[in-house]
C-alpha cells in the first residue's frame, strides 16, 4: 500500500517538474535572459539553458559552411562576457 502511494507521489512529481520545465522553455523565448533566470528555480533554469544551448549548437553544426558555427561562437562569447561582467562588476 505504501509502495503504491510512493509510486503515485513520484509520478506526480515528475509530471509537475515536466510542466514547470515546459512553462520555462516557453518563457525563455519571450523574456530577457537576465529577468528569466531570476524568475525560475535554479535547476529549471540550468535545464532549460542546456536545452537551448544544445539546440543552437546542433543547428550551428548542421550548417554546411562554417559561418553559422562562427556566429554561434561569437554569440555565446559575447553573452558570457556580458553576463559575467554584470554579475561581478555591477
Contact status, residue 24 vs residue 48, Cβ threshold 8 Å: yes
The whole-model pTM stands at: 0.69
pLDDT per residue as tens digits for the range 25-83: 999 999 998 899 899 999 999 999 999 988 888 777 766 656 677 777 777 778 777 76
**How is 58-73 classified by DSSP, letter by letter?**
HHHHHSSSTHHHHHHH
CA count, 13 A, side-chain hemisphere, 78: 6
**How is 20-33 classified by DSSP, letter by letter?**
HHHHHHHHHTTS-H
Q: What is the pLDDT of residue 31?
A: 94
Amino acid at each position: 500500500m505504501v509502495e503504491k502511494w510512493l509510486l503515485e507521489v513520484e509520478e506526480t512529481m515528475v509530471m509537475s517538474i515536466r510542466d514547470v520545465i515546459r512553462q520555462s522553455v516557453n518563457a525563455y523565448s519571450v523574456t530577457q535572459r537576465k529577468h528569466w533566470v531570476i524568475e525560475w528555480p535554479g535547476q529549471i533554469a540550468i535545464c532549460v539553458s542546456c536545452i537551448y544551448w544544445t539546440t543552437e549548437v546542433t543547428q550551428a553544426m548542421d550548417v554546411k559552411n562554417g559561418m553559422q558555427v562562427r556566429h554561434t561562437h561569437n554569440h555565446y562569447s559575447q553573452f558570457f562576457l556580458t553576463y559575467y561582467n554584470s554579475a561581478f562588476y555591477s
